[in-house]
Amino acid sequence: MTNGDDLFQEVFAALDVGVLVHDDDGVLLATNPAAERILQGTSAELASLLRPGDVKVEAADGTTRWLTVDSVPIRHARGARAGRVTSFVDITDRTLAEAELQRRALTDPLTGIANRLLVSDRIQQALRRLERRPRAVVVVGLDLDRFKLINDTLGHHAGDQVLIAVANRLVETARPADTVARLGGDEFIIVAEGMHTDAEASAFAERILFALRKPIHLGGEELRTSASVGYTLTRDPDSYPSDLLRQADLALYRAKQLGRDRYAVFDEELRANAAIRQATERVVRRALASDGLRVEFQPVVDLPTGETVAAEALVRIDDPDEGLLPAARFLGAAEEGGLISAIDEWVLEAVVDQLATWREAGVEFPVSVNVTGRALTDAGFVARIAKALAAHNLAGSALQIEVNEAALLETTATARITLRELRRMGVKVGLDDFGSGFSALSHLQNVPLDFVKIDSSFTAGVSVSVRSRAIVTAMVELAHALGLGVIAEGIENEAQREALIAAGCEQAQGYLFSPSQPAAWFGAGAKGPSDRSS
């Protein structure tokens, strides 16, 4: 049978908790094996660093340990203090795990730089510092020009390598105190403090553009990139991070509109436009919430006969304050506000419902619906169309889908698969505003299309300008050579109609035939309005 001292020694040695015993003068009297193991040896100096609470210490072997420390006095039977017992638990693994979780929560998993959550916090901290140091905070937004084409042609792995290279370039270009973040996709943010003038911010944006123009070497190939950059500058500590991010994004959008591979600044003009956009976005939200959306239809006619052979669906908002608003007034704000998908779904359902109603009344022709590039990359888009058509027992040929050139140039492999699936269902696919922006003949070959619409900027002069007539004729011949139908937009007079017939164009739409009309205008029992004077 062991005595009390032996039992104490066995327990002391068996504890997983580190224990240090000091006398009343602070001299280290004893340590248990757990303390030696945790601290990799002990010393009076090391022991003196252990204070109650969570502490970080450097163990005897040079490694860093995190400990939870407790300390209690030892007292004689009469109550006088005789020393102190310090106990501690090694929480290094837990601390490192928590730190890793926090790092993952605040950083982008692909590039390792800050994410949206962290950059918002860094902007807020920078704004607070403006109260003590009245210098500017600059928020720079950028994304790569036509990055989707990199993913599409080289694959997502190559795209990821490009994003990592871009992140490294940005970190190298930024100053040590700046924050570089990735918001997702190819969108990046840089937060810079301490700039005195607008000229400094502009020079910073120029350096970013220059850095991203340098070729990226990928798998033995040289890949050239460029970016569009927008920035905003504030000296107001009461600014909101979300507002600054939005302002940088608006400036970035302007840079894209100006031709890409350049920068733009958020100025008073953009501020006024932003206020209008926000007001318009509120109108859109109100329309979605209160059944304020409407669809009108503009007839597409056979040019020689004037007979209506199709129609284009055009969304409107019937606002109680502003009246009937055309799409041009609100679609941009809807897209920026993340509302475009909801509008697309509503229009699709409304058009299919109307097609079924017309069929019952004996009015049958296909209707075109404009869709965004975002819709084409939505995995559920084709299924929703199939379901809507099946619900009314409509054939796919009752519906046509139109995409514009900007969406076409950004088309990914996923979007092309979507277009092919639609065509297999019998849905025709058309290119809207042909020739208006970034026409690429390779896309006409590679993207599954059935028809093109010649933009009104070309048809406007077709009857009075030899040059315009030659361009339109060439466009019609090119489309026909590729097996595509042709529709001319914006026809306003008989001379334009005759010139288009001479050019070989078979269909058209415009005010000569009719502006957009409510569904009831198409009339029961008729194939469609054929009287151009109506």
For residue 8, give the CATH number of its domain: 3.30.450.20
Give domain status of residue 534, yes or no.
no
CA nearest neighbour of 53 among 35, 36, 71: 71
- Structural element, H or E, at residue 311: strand 308-319
Burial class (CB in 10 A: 0-12, 13-18, 19+), 100: exposed
Give domain status of residue 174, yes or no.
yes
Give domain status of residue 419, yes or no.
no
Q: pTM for the full model? A: 0.64
The structural domain count of the chain equals 2
pLDDT in the model for residue 55: 86
Please report, in angstroms and rounded to a whole number, the separation of the first and last CA atoms in the chain: 115
pLDDT in the model for residue 437: 54
CA nearest neighbour of 227 among 169, 269, 154: 169
Question: Are 250 and 125 in the same domain?
Answer: yes
Query: In CATH, what number is assigned to the domain containing residue 195?
Result: 3.30.70.270
Give domain status of residue 483, yes or no.
no
Residue 457 to residue 485: CA distance in whole angstroms: 19
pLDDT in the model for residue 533: 35
Question: Are 116 and 237 in the same domain?
Answer: yes
Question: Are 128 and 183 in the same domain?
Answer: yes
Q: Of 266, 285, 305, which residue is a domain's last?
A: 266
pLDDT in the model for residue 77: 62
Residue 460 to residue 457: CA distance in whole angstroms: 6
Question: Are 13 and 144 in the same domain?
Answer: no
Whether residue 116 contacts residue 184, with contact meaning beta carbons closer than 8 Å, is answered with yes
Question: Are 191 and 243 in the same domain?
Answer: yes
Give domain status of residue 149, yes or no.
yes
Give domain status of residue 515, yes or no.
no
Question: Are 143 and 232 in the same domain?
Answer: yes
pLDDT in the model for residue 525: 33
pLDDT in the model for residue 138: 96
Give domain status of residue 127, yes or no.
yes
Indicate the pairing of strand 136-144 with strand 53-58. Answer: unpaired
Q: Of 215, 235, 266, which residue is a domain's last?
A: 266
Range of the domain at 122: 107-266
Question: Are 91 and 142 in the same domain?
Answer: no
Q: Of 266, 298, 327, which residue is a domain's last?
A: 266
**Sheet of 187-195: strands edge to edge?**
179-184, 187-195, 136-144, 227-234, 263-265
Question: Are 177 and 70 in the same domain?
Answer: no
Question: Are 123 and 253 in the same domain?
Answer: yes
Question: Are 200 and 230 in the same domain?
Answer: yes
Which ranges of 363-455 would DSSP assign to H, the alpha helix? 373-376, 381-391, 405-409, 413-424, 441-446
Question: Are 55 and 86 in the same domain?
Answer: yes
Question: Are 117 and 246 in the same domain?
Answer: yes
Give domain status of residue 136, yes or no.
yes
List per-residue pLDDT tens for the chain, 534 residues long: 456 667 767 777 778 888 988 888 778 888 888 888 888 876 666 677 788 888 888 887 788 888 999 988 887 766 666 788 889 999 988 888 888 787 788 889 999 999 999 999 999 999 999 988 778 999 999 999 888 778 877 888 889 999 999 999 999 999 999 999 999 899 999 999 988 888 999 999 999 999 999 999 887 788 888 999 999 999 999 999 999 999 999 999 899 888 889 999 999 888 888 888 888 899 999 999 999 999 999 999 999 999 999 999 999 999 998 889 999 889 888 887 888 889 999 999 999 999 999 999 889 999 999 988 888 888 889 999 999 999 999 999 999 999 887 666 655 677 888 889 999 999 999 988 887 654 456 567 777 899 999 989 899 989 888 998 999 999 999 999 989 999 999 999 999 999 999 999 999 999 999 999 999 998 643 333 334 333
